[in-house]
Amino acid sequence: MDNIVFIVLRRMRAPLLWLVGVYALALLGLVLIPGQDAQGRPWHMDFFHAFYFVSFMSTTIGFGEVPYEFTDGQRLWVTLCIYATVVVWIYAIGTLLTLIQDRGFQQAITERRFARRIARLRDRFYLVCGYGETGGALVRALTERGQHAVALDIREERISALRLEPLREYVPGLCGDASRPRHLLAAGLGHPRCAGVVALTNDNQANLRIALATRLLHPDIQLICRADSRAVEANMASFGTPHIYDPFETFAAHLATALESPCLYLLNQWLSGEESDPLAEPRFPPHGRHWVVCGYGRFGKALVRRLTEAGLAVVVVEADPERTGRPTGEWVRGVGVDAGTLGRAGIERAAGLVAGTDDDADNLSIVMTARELNPDLFVVARANLEENQTLFAALSPQMVMHPASIVANRIRVLMATPLLSEFERLMMFQEETLACQLVSRLAALSSERVPVVWETPIDDEAAHALSVGLGESRPVRLADLLRDPRGREQALACIPLLLVRGRDRMLLPGEETRLHPGERLLFCGRPGVRGRMEWTLQNLHALNYVLTGESRPQGWVWRHLIKGR
Amino acid sequence: MNPEKVVFGFFIVLSLTLNFGFFVGEMDNPEHHHVLELFAVIVVNLVATILKFGDRTQMGAVLLSTSLVAVLQLLAAALVWGVALYVTGTGTTSAVMASVVSLSGGAMLANVISVVLLIIETVMLRR
């Protein structure tokens, strides 16, 4: 507000001074020049009539001469004044119009409007810095679930793209440098409803600055950062950034999980999938023979390291090893789009292929060429741009990986259901067979669509009946919660995944586990089951029925009648 | 020497002196207060006000507000004069003159404050 008034006043100073000067001169001339009244007597115009005349003279010439006809001396003066005032008016209006079209002024107005919108936000929101592929995917995923977000990006066209995006919730976007605290604060960093900051820009230093600003200005909110190098990651961790994502590492870990432990991969995919997604079919990548990895950039390096650690033989195909660094193992020079290069990499004998360059056209071409040479190949394709997803889908490789949405999905899971991210981390250290068992249990549970995942803290807010019941020292076991409050013989179609008790984590807690106040539970189950469990959690009578099997009288009269019997 | 300061100082002091010139004389005697003087005061005051537009300093803001007060008072005086002369037809009676002159007196007070502030600023800067 301050800024806009300041700019207008500053710019309008000269035109207004000119206006006052010319008006004063015109008025003075009219008052001083002698005139005649209707009877021809000498007469002097007064200030009142002079001001009236000059006011309409400069804007609408042609009202006539008032109150009496002018003398020739007056006419001479008025002729001069007409030109002077019209020019000054045009100058003033022109300056104002230029000001309105001025870029700085427009930016000031946009910022002010944005700041007002942010101040009016009443729901918890996440501040997403960097609205690129990952940021866009994250904002989409958040709004799909009814959560709110604010986007900040340095590039104007990205914010324009945000405005055109058909999102379910309104997402305010500001074009500004996220590494500057002024813009972060304008985008709502200090807002009491700001639930977290996600720094996803492709500039390491900018992400670092965002993390610093968040830690200093709003220390107790969630902070998730992208870091492309170990050094920056260590720097961020040094001042307590809890969640740091390296997109290349994350993608490589994702792919490696898919290749090493298909069950775990499938489990993670089901649990973190979109609601109403169909259950994805399990894919079992072949082992035994070698894999061909095209592209040895940052993604390729992270991937090759993961695959070699898992004991797979890898042949790298890289067009420019001088730039990317020479691969340590076997490698072939070339992009991989031609049969010769792929042939030298032994594509005919290979088990699988990862088309992982940063160019979508290359990746598509690699997959098509490789398929011709070896139709049984297990193909993993990297799709860099969201808009090319349809092309990849038409090619139908065994797996399509869109790194941006993988990272976005992980961040989304971390923000919406932190326990699920904990669960996924714990599952990585478990045997693959456990994941396979869980996958088959889940498949039996919800036939076609992905299960719903939810967290339940055992406190007065989310589980009133349970916390009261536990206060009465009546033992409640996990098995009781899993009974249907409409008929306790029926089990609810859900699986408890994780129980957090203080610092302890219980993976897949058993049915006999006793529940205590302050614990947190993670469930997954069929859609709608959560609502039924809520009855047991919140309603004392439902809880009582589930525990004992009897419906206690609810009213005072009936309770006394029963007592009397 | 700051030309902006020179120009503003000139206009604010001029508006005070002109204002004083209009103000002095018998309060309710139209002979002692010329309309041209009032006109000059208004114009000079308007210029002084516009010169302070967009000044972000604390002193600039205070000077802008005092100038605005003076302009408002003077415009009110001119309005009273004009209405009495042409709208109601009362003419420049002593009552009308008294109110016009007292309004301009208020404006003069505001202008005095402006000049005092200007002097304080100058003294504090000492350059």
Minimal CA separation from B25 to chain A, in Å? 22
Total-model pTM: 0.67
- Token representation of residue A466: 């349970």
Could you tell me which residue, A164 or A560, shows the higher pLDDT?
A164
B43 and A24 in contact by Cβ < 8 A? yes
Q: Does B126 score more than 70 pLDDT?
A: no
| Torsion, CA B97, CA B103, CA B107, CA B109, rounded to 10 | 100
B43 vs A contacts (CB less than 8 Å): 20, 24
Look up the ipTM and state it.
0.86
What is the reported pLDDT for B15? 94
| Residue range A29-54: mean pLDDT, rounded | 89
What residues does each domain of chain B span?
A: 3-125
State the Cα–Cα distance between residues B115 and B123, nearest whole angstrom: 12
Q: Which residues contact A413 (CB under 8 A, 6 or more apart)?
A: A272, A420, A421, A424
Q: How many beta-carbon pairs below 8 A join chains A and B? A: 39
Minimal CA separation from B21 to chain A, in Å? 18
For A9, which of B39, B43, B53 is closest by C-beta distance?
B53
CB B26 within 8 A of CB B59: no
State the best of B4, B11, B43 to mutate against chain A, taking most chain A CBs within 10 Å: B43
Q: Does A8 score more than 80 pLDDT?
A: yes
Looking at the DSSP bridge assignments, the partners of residue A399 are A380
Could you tell me which residue, A532 or A18, shows the higher pLDDT?
A18
| Residue range B33-46: mean pLDDT, rounded | 92
Minimal CA separation from B15 to chain A, in Å? 14
Confidence label for A59 from pLDDT (cuts 50, 70 and 90): confident
What is the reported pLDDT for B17? 94
| Residue range A357-382: mean pLDDT, rounded | 87
A48 vs B contacts (CB less than 8 Å): 82, 85-86
Q: Does A273 score more than 70 pLDDT?
A: yes
Confidence label for A473 from pLDDT (cuts 50, 70 and 90): low
What is the reported pLDDT for B42? 94
What is the reported pLDDT for A524? 87
State the best of A17, A48, A51 to mutate against chain B, taking most chain B CBs within 10 Å: A48
**Residue A303: helix, strand or coil by DSSP?**
helix
Q: CA-based angle A21:B20:A19, to the nearest 5?
A: 10
Per-residue pLDDT tens digits for A290-348: 888 888 888 888 888 888 887 888 888 888 888 877 777 788 888 878 888 888 888 88
**Residue A4: helix, strand or coil by DSSP?**
helix
- Report how far apart, in Å, the C-alpha atoms of A172 and of each of A120, A150, A220, A538 are: 11, 5, 23, 36
What is the reported pLDDT for A471? 64
Whose tokens are 């600023």? That residue is: B121
Q: Exposed/middle/buried for A182, CB within 10 Å: 0-12, 13-18, 19+?
A: exposed
What is the reported pLDDT for A21? 93
Minimal CA separation from B36 to chain A, in Å? 8
Q: Which residue of A has its CA nearest to B53?
A: A9
A17 and B51 in contact by Cβ < 8 A? yes
What is the reported pLDDT for A26? 92
Which range among A87-101, A266-280, A311-325, A381-395 has the greatest average pLDDT? A87-101
**Domains (range + CATH), chain A:** 2-101 (1.10.287), 122-245 (3.40.50.720), 251-418 (3.40.50.720), 451-565 (3.30.70.1450)
Per-residue pLDDT tens digits for A234-264: 888 888 888 888 887 887 888 788 877 888 8
Q: Is A48 on the interface with B (CB under 8 A)?
A: yes
What is the reported pLDDT for B111? 94
Q: What is the mean pLDDT of chain A?
A: 84
What is the reported pLDDT for A129? 92
Q: Does A565 score more than 60 pLDDT?
A: no
Per-residue pLDDT tens digits for B54-93: 787 888 889 999 999 999 999 999 999 999 988 888 888 9
For A13, which of B46, B53, B78 is closest by C-beta distance?
B53
Query: DSSP class of residue A71?
Result: P
Q: Which residue of A has its CA nearest to B54?
A: A10
Exposure class string for A36-70: b at 16+ Cβ within 10 A, else e: eeeeeeeeebbbbbbbbbbeebbeeeeeeeeebeb
Q: Does B48 score more than 80 pLDDT?
A: yes
